[in-house]
Chains A and B, each alone.
Chain A
Amino acid sequence: MSFELGDLSYALPILVLVVGGLLLLLMEAFSTGRSRAYLVPMTVLVVLASIAADVSVWSQVGEGGHSIMSGMLEIDRLSLFANAIFLTACGLTALLAGAYMQEHRFEFGEFYALIVFATAGMMILAAASDMVSIFLGLEIMSLAVYVLTGSWRRSPKSSEGAMKYFLVGSVASAVLLYGMALIYGAVGSTSLQAIANSKGAYVEPIFIIGLLLVLTAFAFKIAAVPFHMWAPDAYEGAPTPVTGFMAAGVKAAAFVILIRMCGTAFSRSELALGSTGWVSILKWVAVITMTFGNLAALRQENIKRLLAYSSVSHAGYLLIGLIATATVGNEARGPLLYYLAAYTFTTMGAFGVVAWLGRHGDERLQLDDWAGLAAKHPAAALAMTIFMLSLGGVPPTAGFFGKFYLFRAALGRADLTWLVVIAVLNSVVSVYYYLRVVTTMYFREPARESSPLQSRSVTAALVLAVIGTLLIGILPGWLVETASSALLGS
């Protein structure tokens, strides 16, 4: 376990992003004139380069995975698959953000560098195999996202959202550190593998408390009930492309590290199962999260808050997948990753349409503003319909297959059947409010004139999201194969 220069080749996707992010920052600093639009293609270029690096490392590491940086990072297919999800979210956010910021007059040059840094943080988090690197990755990601949330300085809601997100996030970080300290106290090591191999330590109360604190911290990050309070405000206040980035990227990163921790450090059956194991706690968290998220979304009149609560409920479905990894094992990791990929395309697309509709500092977030959209803008309405159907889990979209695949994994154990039934009934509830959006767009008469963004990059982002949502929904085969080969290393 020492540092070798060759290790760097495994960290190539992260390095490309960090170097690219620094270049973006420099370009911003030395650029003259007001427009920052040229940073969009630059960011996309950085993302594409990182994706290329990711693909090449994928074939390099093979099934086993590779531990680098003295055991700080574990580059395995799980982390590489997750990287592709983060990069997709990052690229789509960049495409959406250029025209959005121009329209709302807050061209914020560091924006692009920050989303790239946040993505690098997510990658570190996803690959972290030591509690120190977990914390490092989490903070790199979170700090960048706090700033992004508040980047629309003239909007009071943006500042409010950022403040709430920052305060709650800091508490979560503190809780996480406390939990890690307790676990270190019980085991004497911060390495996830060492924790997994420690004999006897896992029954000590101090260890159990540490574990619960760590899980609580991540429950904040994925906005699981009852730690979701910040989500609607932060989602509403953040610039819409950033909201999409938070919903897709941050959530995915938190889930991937949860998969890793639950698959290594907390994987012992004494710790996971049984009446006080984390599985039985997460089961109830999942039930409450799904149900509360869906019921709260029913009454929302603001589309961003509606999508925020929908995002809370999706965290609930994803928790079922996480629970299934404890009882079914590797079989359940593929579905979870597939779901995250499907959710990324869909939710980025949905927030993309929201971002597209606003004009001149007026975001048009009320559902009433969407009335009759289909008459004027049939293509955008169709895209939004596809995203809503996908979020609701109606075939032939990615969201449907994701849910189906996830429930299939959960049904591998008979004692999770009731959880699946609750999730399914929740889906029915969710269909109501997703269709409310569709109903508003198609069945009601236009209320206000709308003159949405005219931008090629926004159109490109939406088209990519639609293609992604439909393609992996209709032909899920290759993604299923890839996701289920994205195993934990060693």
Chain B
Amino acid sequence: MILTILTFLPIAGALCLLFIPREEEGLHRGIALGTALATFFWSLRLLPDFDTGGFNHVVDSEWVPKLGIHYHMGVDGISLWLVMLTTFLMPIVLLSTYSSITKKVREFMVAVLVLEAGMIGTFLALDMFLFYVFWEIMLIPMYFIIGIWGGDRRLYAAIKFVLYTMVGSLLMIVAILYLYVKHHELTQVWSFDYFALSKVALGRHEELYCFLAFALAFCIKVPLFPFHTWLPDAHVEAPTAGSVLLAAVMLKFGTYGLLRYAIPLFPHAFVVCAPYLATLSVIGIIYGSLVAFAQTDIKKMIAYSSVAHLAFVVLGLAMWNAKSVDGAVYQMLAHGISTGGLFLCIGALYERRHTRKLDEYGGIATIMPRFFAIFLIITLASVGLPALSGFVGEFLILLGSFTASKSWAAAGLPLMVPHHTTLYAFLATTGVILSAVYMLYLFQRVMFGPLSNARNRDLKDLSAREVVIFIPMVVMAFWLGIYPSTFLTGIDPAVQRTIAEFKAKQEASGDVAKIVHVTETGR
């Protein structure tokens, strides 16, 4: 029941908004913010007595009995913190729109709240049909957010965003259906249940195709090089709030999907594809960093930095050992805070100057001291300075990658020289250095130097409202950096369990499709 309320509370808020006349903008903002805050406080109820061993607060009732579709939700250590990240960011994002969104306020608030419901539902779903429905529901509000409140090329960006995601997700639904039909063939039971479908070990060939269909959907969402081209367009054209939600939460569905669905469901196919995934992510890290460095548009720069950071997460998943996967999940949270914060910072600048061109800025530090402090902390968090959020995740991923050779061999992954894990780790490390280069370059160009541009002279420092927006982000950046145990105690057991089930399934499956019994911890 907790999870149902958590998912549908934002929808209830959105419905309320529809019954209030559109002129009452203040009321719309207030109700939306109130709903988001209520959702956040409600999500805090997940924390006490959280059983890290499996899924909590499971709800399971029939939806379409004839087809075995259930309304099945649950939260484990991996989804817990991602849900918390979503509910945590939502009030902040809504607060940040008080000055930036001035037209069609009601529609904007409705779109954001529906988006929130979709995102929470996607993280919580344990029925593949339900997962797919929420996954697609997220798409439409984001399409409107980019298309109505976006920049000049918003039409192009919005449609590109939808079509890219659609290609992947529609192939994924075919794979889901394939798995579902196979499950029925083997057990005579129709079910979309995640645990039931987890037990289906497909034959080698079909498994590979299904994995590719899933992986394509998730890699587009991540976005992994070379599927990343929608991201810079979407980010640049989206309003600040859209960019924050896109970067901080929506991209995580790609990596979350790989970890929860694509990899554990198809272990053999993953073993075959892991070197390619790792190679693409290393390319993504280096390519994203280099391209970010070449940008003159600040938002595009952050967008490409997201490509690089998320590629780090995929690398952690591809290495597939407890350390690297812990790191990957941790990096998802850290990236949510740091990149979300960066987009909020750019948003604050943009509201004042209405330009994102790097050349237009310079010397801002002297006239906006509060902004200086906050931007500095968030930049350093993004770079991965120790004691700030970015460090822990990157460190764990690199540690996991350097020591991955053993676990790769144990998992049956090929260890040829070009695919040697140490090489990946080495190349990824250069990405860390590159990220420091472009982020510090960005910071320096904006903040330091002479205040040469006359239009920058009378910029106002952050208002009280904006400080309220940034304080929670800064606090979380420090918290994630200084005391990772808060989060890792939940993440680690869930990751260990996922890896153990992966191994059990991998060992049990063979050339033909069959049902295997992996340890079931769901109920």
List chain A positions with a Cβ less than 8 A from chain B. Answer: 378, 389, 394-396, 400, 404-405, 407-408, 411-412, 417, 420-421, 424-425, 427-428, 431-432, 435-436, 439, 442-443, 476-477, 480-481, 484
Contact = CB atoms under 8 A, between A and B. Distances in A.
A343 to B, nearest CB: 19
Interface stretch (B143-151, B356-364, B479-487): B143-151
Interface stretch (B170-178, B270-278, B388-396): B170-178
Given A394-B140, A424-B171, A480-B64, A417 B178 contact: yes
B15 interface: no
Nearest to B106: A378
Contacts of A412: 181
A412 B136 CA distance: 24
A309 to B, nearest CB: 18
B174 A442 contact: no
Contacts of A407: 173-174, 177
Given A407-B177, A480-B66, A394 B163 contact: no
B136 A394 contact: yes
A480 B167 CA distance: 27
A438 to B, nearest CB: 8
B159 A432 contact: yes
A476 B67 CA distance: 10
A394 B173 CA distance: 12
A259 to B, nearest CB: 19
Interface in B149-199: 154-155, 158-159, 162-163, 166-167, 170-171, 173-174, 177-178, 180-181
Given A425-B171, A435-B159, A439-B158, 13 more contacts: A389-B140, A394-B136, A408-B180, A411-B178, A417-B174, A420-B174, A421-B174, A424-B171, A435-B162, A442-B144, A442-B148, A480-B64, A480-B67
A443 B154 CA distance: 9
17 contacts: A395-B133, A395-B136, A400-B133, A400-B136, A404-B129, A404-B173, A408-B177, A408-B181, A411-B174, A424-B170, A424-B171, A431-B166, A432-B159, A439-B155, A439-B158, A442-B147, A477-B65
B133 A396 contact: yes
A466 B129 CA distance: 23
Interface in B273-304: none
Contact of B158 (A400, A425, A443, A480): A443
Interface in B356-396: none
B418 to A, nearest CB: 32
Contact of A424 (B67, B173, B180): B173
A417 B166 CA distance: 19
Contact of A395 (B107, B132, B143, B181): B132
A394 B141 CA distance: 12
A429 to B, nearest CB: 9
A396 B167 CA distance: 18
B180 to A, nearest CB: 7
A443 B63 contact: no
Contacts of A405: 67
A443 B181 contact: no
B173 A477 contact: no
Secondary structure of the A side of the interface? Answer: helix
A432 B143 CA distance: 12
Contact of B170 (A425, A435, A436, A443): A425
B174 A431 contact: no
A481 B66 contact: yes
A443 B148 CA distance: 5
Given A411-B181, A412-B181, A417-B178, A428 B170 contact: yes
Interface in B42-80: 62-67
- Which of B63, B163, B171, B174 is packed against the most chain A CB atoms within 10 Å? B174
Nearest to B129: A404
A137 B474 CA distance: 73
B462 interface: no
B504 interface: no
B139 interface: yes
A116 to B, nearest CB: 34
Nearest to A427: B170
Kindly list the 9 A-B residue pairs having the minimum CB-CB distance in the complex, ordered from nearest: A395-B133, A424-B170, A443-B147, A477-B64, A395-B136, A428-B166, A411-B177, A480-B66, A411-B181
B137 interface: yes
Contact of B147 (A378, A424, A439, A477): A439
Contacts of B67: 405, 408, 480
A424 B168 CA distance: 10
A425 B159 CA distance: 16
Given A408-B181, A420-B174, A480-B66, A428 B163 contact: yes
A378, A389, A408, A476, most chain B CB atoms within 10 A:
A408
Contact of B64 (A425, A431, A476): A476
Nearest to A477: B64
B139 A394 contact: yes
A436 B159 CA distance: 8
Nearest to A404: B173
A477 B63 contact: yes
Given A424-B170, A481-B66, A396 B137 contact: yes
B155 A443 contact: yes
A421 B178 CA distance: 11
Contacts of A411: 174, 177-178, 181
A103 B181 CA distance: 52
Contacts of B173: 404, 407, 424
A431 B181 CA distance: 26
Nearest to B147: A443
A417 B175 CA distance: 10
Contact of A431 (B63, B155, B162): B162
Contacts of A417: 174, 178
Nearest to B139: A394
Contacts of B137: 395-396
Contacts of A477: 62-66
Nearest to A442: B148
Given A424-B171, A443-B148, A431 B177 contact: no
Contacts of A435: 143, 159, 162
Max chain A C-beta neighbours (<10 A), residue from B148, B162, B170, B180: B170
Contacts of A431: 162-163, 166
A408 B143 CA distance: 28
A425 B167 CA distance: 7
Given A439-B147, A442-B144, A480-B67, A421 B171 contact: yes
A424 B133 contact: no
A306 to B, nearest CB: 16
A336 to B, nearest CB: 15
A427 B162 CA distance: 12
A394 B118 CA distance: 13
A145 B186 CA distance: 49
A408 B174 CA distance: 8
A164 to B, nearest CB: 34
Contacts of A425: 167, 170-171
Nearest to A334: B66
Contacts of B63: 477
A63 B132 CA distance: 34
A155 to B, nearest CB: 33
Contacts of A476: 64
A432 B147 contact: no
A431 B65 CA distance: 29
Contacts of B162: 431, 435
Contacts of A427: 166, 170
A291 to B, nearest CB: 15
Nearest to A432: B163
A52 B64 CA distance: 26
Contacts of A484: 66
B130 to A, nearest CB: 10
